[in-house]
Amino acid sequence: MAPAEDDTVRLKPPGPGSARRGLIGGLALLGLLGGGVWYGAGGPGEDARPAPAATPAPPQPMVRVMAEAELLALLPEQPSLYRLRENPQVFVLLFPDLARQGEALNRAAALIEKAGLPRDRLLDATELAAAIARSGDTPATWYLGHDYRSADLARFFALAERDRVALNEAELWLRDQFALASAAAGPGPFAMVSAAAPGPQMDMPMRMAVLRHEIGHGHYFTLPGFAGHVQAVWRNGFTEAERGAFRGFLGREGYDAGNDELMANEAMAYLLFTPDPRLFGPAQVGLAPATLDRLRELLRVGLTLP
């Protein structure tokens, strides 16, 4: 999710150097041992046990399950992975600040959905910094939250491997979490979404709206039939003028307005799952309140949580 565009709520860049603070040294280990993830029997630290007679089963990755209401109130001190109780195909990464979220996910955002950037290779650090600067953002504020299909993140890591691109420490941590989620989710697609803790650039109500927005995308990526319903409403329930208003709003926020599937997914997430008028409302999108209510109703009828 992009920061609000309106100047009255435009998130100010952090002070010099602050976006780079807290480079994630050692966090891969901390994330596994002290974060929201742990190993079941046979995990790290149990080597001193007597070896069982039979071949031991491989470690079973476990990801802590949390209800959405719990996640909305949760502010872990280290980057952590959780699984959404209401829809277990949605995995949620919570970061202690926007800078660390950006370190882990900005390059994936560039590959997967940021406008005007290559879709077939990873940017290097210089190219990524330039793309962020062109958008008027900092690494911390390029996105307030992130949401990806498992297949898109798998492609990100496969391209890094193919081109021998060195991942930064936060991206290596992300790769570990992706592997844990993959093992827990089983065969089938899943979603990884993220939000950061509140701070100078995002208060608690805005953070809650961002997390709800990203979880909404998680539903879109994983609930059978929901994406098709959203696409059908976008094509047939929105007028061309309404689609144009959303493309304008989302394009100003830095989304790729030429990607119609992304436009439909974002329109859904803003309409149904973004309860903060600083981030979304009639003024930002340039449509009447009654129009937004009508579109909400059309979208909502397709949403049935497991």
* Least distance (Å) between residue 134 CB and Zn ion: 20
Nearer to Zn ion, 28 or 84 (CB): 84
Using the rule CB under 5 A, give the single segment among 29-37, 92-100, 169-177, 269-277 that binds Zn ion: 269-277
- Round to the nearest angstrom and report the end-to-end CA distance of the chain: 25
Pick one of 1, 4, 71, 287: the residue that binds Zn ion (CB under 5 A): 1
- Say how far apart CA 147 and CA 82 lie, in whole Å: 14
CB of 20 to Zn ion, least distance (A): 26
Which range of residues in 181-189, 190-198, 241-249, 263-271 is near Zn ion by CB under 5 A?
263-271
How far apart CA 83 and CA 36 sit, in angstroms, is 9
**Smallest distance from Zn ion to CB 59, Å:** 34
Among 227, 205, 172, 192, smallest CA distance to 275 is for 205
Residues 32, 27: Cα–Cα separation, whole Å: 8
Least CB distance from residue 248 to Zn ion, whole Å? 16
Separation between Cα atoms, residue 265 and residue 257, nearest integer Å = 12
E strand map for 67-172: 80-84, 90-95, 145-149
Q: Which stretch binds Zn ion (CB under 5 A): 59-67, 92-100, 267-275, 290-298?
A: 267-275
State in angstroms the smallest separation of the CB of 79 from Zn ion.
20
From 10-18, 40-48, 55-63, 268-276, span contacting Zn ion (CB under 5 A):
268-276
Size of the site for Zn ion (CB under 5 A): 3
Show Cβ contacts of residue 1 under 8 Å, excluding neighbours closer than 6 positions: 143, 144, 145, 146, 147, 210, 213, 214, 269, 274, 279
Q: For residue 209, what are its two tokens? A: 């709206």
Q: Is residue 279 at the binding interface for Zn ion, with CB under 5 A as the rule?
A: no
As measured in angstroms, the least distance from the Cβ of 213 to Zn ion is 5
Asked if 105 touches Zn ion (CB under 5 A), the answer is no
- CB atoms under 10 Å from CB of 215, counted, come to 25
List, as one string, the DSSP characters of 193-213. Answer: EEEE--BTTB-HHHHHHHHHH
Closer Cβ to Zn ion, 1 or 37, answer by number: 1
CB of 17 to Zn ion, least distance (A): 29
Our finding on whether 269 is near Zn ion (CB under 5 A) is yes
Give the angle subtended at the CA of 100 by the CAs of 94 and 102, to the nearest 5°. 95
The closest alpha carbon to 72, from 191, 195, 155, belongs to 195
Q: Taking contact as CB under 5 A, which single stretch among the options 31-39, 113-121, 258-266, 288-296 is the one that binds Zn ion? A: 258-266
Cβ proximity to Zn ion: between 177 and 265 the closer is 265
**Closest to Zn ion by CB, 1 or 153:** 1
Q: Which is nearer to Zn ion, 170 or 272 (CB)?
A: 272
Can you tell me which residue has the tokens 């990607």? 259
CA-based max dimension of the chain: 70
Residue 242 or 253 having the CB closest to Zn ion: 253
- Contact (CB, 8 A) for 128 and 142: no
Residue 1 or 122 having the CB closest to Zn ion:
1
User: Which spans of this chain sit near Zn ion (rule: CB under 5 A)?
Assistant: 1, 266, 269
